[in-house]
Amino acid sequence: MSFISSGGSATIRADINQALIESPAEIGLIGAEVLPLLPVPAKSGQYLKVQTADAALLDADAAKRTAGSEYARAARKFTSDTYDCIETGLEELLDDSFRADANRFFQIEAETARFLLRQVKLSHEKRVADLLFATTTPFTSADLSPTANYTEANLATINAPADVAAGKLALNKLGYAANAVIMSANVYERVRRTTLLQNQFYGVVSNTGGRLLDEAQIAEAFGVDKVYIGRAAINSANKNKAYSGSFIVPDTKIVVANISSGQFTAGGIGRTLVWSEDAPGGFVSESYRDEARRSNVLRVRMNTAEKVIDANAAVRITTTYS
């Protein structure tokens, strides 16, 4: 059903967008890095999918040929997949009297938009984490078991480099080279304290001087470009209850992956598809007037589909963290 809002049309706020770009609202978030944003012209669509087995991408079929004979021929089967962008967003009323009073302390509209953006990004972060870490996501390679459970009691025997190496080899068999490892903040803090990883980096010494490996050093030890740490937290308590923070990225698994951006032909685990006709740039801030409430209304929204485009591009390691 079509309708005209009684509150008037919304105006995209470029001034607020600029304030959001300059703000530190993205700290702790990795969703848009592990599933990079990719603009698409249509809300829903179908795209060609080239799968390793059906398209014979890794088949060694080249055969010897004698003079006058035919060459061996390849036969490929292409499939397709679909996407459907869904709009998500959040808005907030700014009463005129409150706005006039609060502006004495800071730019209330810019700050409110920043708060809204953070919440919208947290929702996106959760959708990405749910997609990559849920057991229902069908990656080609089965989840791998760790050499030792990631428990506090096993600090001397946890072998994260060996576990990641096994994941990298699993991806190699599917035609990918891993360039990233994704883990939760809790798993990261435990991994960087493990004896075998510290010995690999510093050498076998009786005392490392209390030095702990940082993300770049762990990435070097793993032999990948980057380690992504999920530090973003959300309130897990019900509304009107005392705040209870929990990390979005779960402790149950480590993901070894190939992460790429740009068009699908670049490969990689997936993308956040952004419907560019409705939400250019990914995150849009708008405002409109609600005269009945004598308020300005601020809104931040996005219109996306979080999509695994190649199930060959990631493998998970079960941590059995506790």
pLDDT at 144: 96
Domains of the chain, by residue range, sit at 11-55+78-318
Residues 113-143: pLDDT tens digits?
888 988 999 999 999 999 999 877 779 999 9
Of 104-113, 195-204, 209-218, 269-278, least confident by mean pLDDT is 104-113
| pTM listed for this prediction | 0.85
Cα dihedral 35, 41, 46, 49 in deg (nearest 10): -50
Query: Is residue 136 helix, strand or coil?
Result: coil
pLDDT at 4: 37
Residues 284-300: pLDDT tens digits?
888 899 998 888 898 99
Q: Which fold has domain 11-55+78-318?
A: phage-related protein like fold (3.90.1690)
How many whole angstroms separate alpha carbon 295 and alpha carbon 302? 23
Length of the chain: 322
How many whole angstroms separate alpha carbon 190 and alpha carbon 205? 19
Per cent of the chain over pLDDT 70 is: 86
Q: How far is CA 48 from the centre of its chain?
A: 23
Query: Is residue 228 helix, strand or coil?
Result: strand
Of 20-24, 295-299, 303-307, least confident by mean pLDDT is 20-24
pLDDT at 16: 57
Structure tokens at 143: 């989840």
Cβ atoms of 91 and 10 closer than 8 Å? no
